[in-house]
Amino acid sequence: MTITITAFEKSPDGGKGLARDTRVRWALEEVGLPYEVRLVSFKALKEPAHLSRHPFGQIPTYEEGGLVLFETGAIVLHLAQNHPGLLPDDADARARAIAWMFAAVNTIEPPILELFTAAFLERDKPWAAERVPMVKERIRDRLRPLAARLGDAEWLDGEFSAGDLMMASVLLRTRSSGLLDEFPTLAAYVARGEARPAYQRAFAAQLAINAP
Ligand code: GTB
């Protein structure tokens, strides 16, 4: 059955892999599924055809037969639950890997998004100069315990899982702020994710569309 995802017609990051279709592409590559991409302009995101797939008018979406999904966490979980390679067989280990997926999107990603809002979208506001350092400190408050839990391990809980895929994808977005480099073990963790052949293929595919 053909799988179709949506992605930006032209990502504002110019192909750095920061738009969220990259994590879905990565999951598809990890489980070895071919997929097609429907490119969507910013205007088309908010038009009825796309809104019927994504209530908030965003990318990515995922279509497979009659199934239409949005939310990267849900898409990656769907792939991981239905194809081998992204979740352990042991039930407890599987539950822990899913917990790391939730931690990525629910605990780590929110302050990272806040920084994007403060540093870019609200950079002209009078409070921006005070707010940015505060938000950066909030991110450090999350990265410190994450680094402590990872320790010297390769991945968060045994073998590479969908939890690592989501966590590395979320952490990638802190690189340009310099915050990731403040935590060398996390920087190395993200680099291990990026070195995976599946990530390399996913990255190359989005770059082919977005390279300036
Ligand atoms: N919670 C949703 C999910 O995980 O699927 C969030 C989806 C989302 O935020 N999608 C963004 C979007 O469609 C693209 S990824 N935005 C358009 C809109 O809301 O109108 C966010 C993103 C965009 C651009 C960059 N960049 O250029 O660096 C990075 C990340």
Query: Would you say residue 1 has pLDDT above 90?
Result: no
> Which of 58, 62, 75, 171 most suits a substitution to test ligand 1, by most atoms within 8 Å of the C-beta?
58
Does the CB atom of residue 6 touch ligand 1 within 6 A? Answer: no
Mean pLDDT of the chain, nearest integer: 97
For the segment 60-66, the average pLDDT, to the nearest whole number, is 97
Does the CB atom of residue 119 touch ligand 1 within 6 A? Answer: no
Residues 172, 107 share a domain: yes
Residues 74, 151 share a domain: no
Residues 111, 27 share a domain: no
CA–CA gap between residue 80 and residue 94 (Å, rounded): 10
Residues 203, 179 share a domain: no
Does the CB atom of residue 12 touch ligand 1 within 6 A? Answer: yes
List, for residues 96-115, the tens digit of each pLDDT value: 999 999 999 999 999 999 99
CA–CA gap between residue 158 and residue 43 (Å, rounded): 43
List, for residues 128-186, the tens digit of each pLDDT value: 899 999 999 999 999 999 999 999 999 999 999 999 999 999 999 999 999 999 999 99
Residue 51: pLDDT band by 50, 70, 90 thresholds? Answer: very high
Q: How many domains does the chain have?
A: 2
CATH of the domain at 78: 3.40.30.10
**Closest ligand 1 atom to the C-alpha of 71?**
5
What is residue 212's predicted lDDT score, i.e. its pLDDT? 80
Does the CB atom of residue 27 touch ligand 1 within 6 A? Answer: no
> Which of 11, 13, 20 most suits a substitution to test ligand 1, by most atoms within 8 Å of the C-beta?
20
CATH of the domain at 186: 1.20.1050.10
**Residue nearest (by alpha carbon) to ligand 1 atom 23:** 19
CA–CA gap between residue 3 and residue 28 (Å, rounded): 9
Does the CB atom of residue 25 touch ligand 1 within 6 A? Answer: no
Residues 126, 60 share a domain: no
State in Å: Cα 61 to ligand 1 middle. 11
Query: Would you say residue 58 has pLDDT above 90?
Result: yes
State in Å: Cα 20 to ligand 1 middle. 6
Angle (CA) 149 70 12, round 5°:
80
Full DSSP string of the chain = --EEEEEESS-TTSSSS-STHHHHHHHHHHHT---EEEEE-HHHHTSHHHHTT-TT--S-EEEETTEEEESHHHHHHHHHHHSTTSS-SSHHHHHHHHHHHHHIIIIIHHHHHHHHIIIIITTTSTTHHHHHHHHHHHHHHHHHHHHHHHTT-SSSSSS--HHHHHHHHHHHTTGGGTTGGGSHHHHHHHHHHHHSHHHHHHHHHHHHHH--
Residues 180, 97 share a domain: yes
Residues 184, 118 share a domain: yes
Residues 108, 52 share a domain: no
Query: Which residue carries 């002209």 as its tokens?
Result: 124
List, for residues 15-47, the tens digit of each pLDDT value: 999 999 999 999 999 999 999 999 999 999 999
Does the CB atom of residue 58 touch ligand 1 within 6 A? Answer: yes
Residues 104, 12 share a domain: no
Q: Model-level pTM greater than 0.75?
A: yes
Range of the domain at 157: 91-196
For the segment 40-63, the average pLDDT, to the nearest whole number, is 98
Does the CB atom of residue 9 touch ligand 1 within 6 A? Answer: no
In this predicted structure, which of 54-58, 125-129, 158-162, 196-200 has the lowest mean pLDDT? 125-129
Residues 57, 154 share a domain: no
State in Å: Cα 103 to ligand 1 middle. 18
What is residue 85's predicted lDDT score, i.e. its pLDDT? 96
Residues 42, 124 share a domain: no
Residue 189: pLDDT band by 50, 70, 90 thresholds? Answer: very high
Q: Using alpha carbons, list the distances in angstroms from residue 59 to 38, 105, 113, 200.
A: 10, 16, 16, 21
Residues 96, 78 share a domain: no
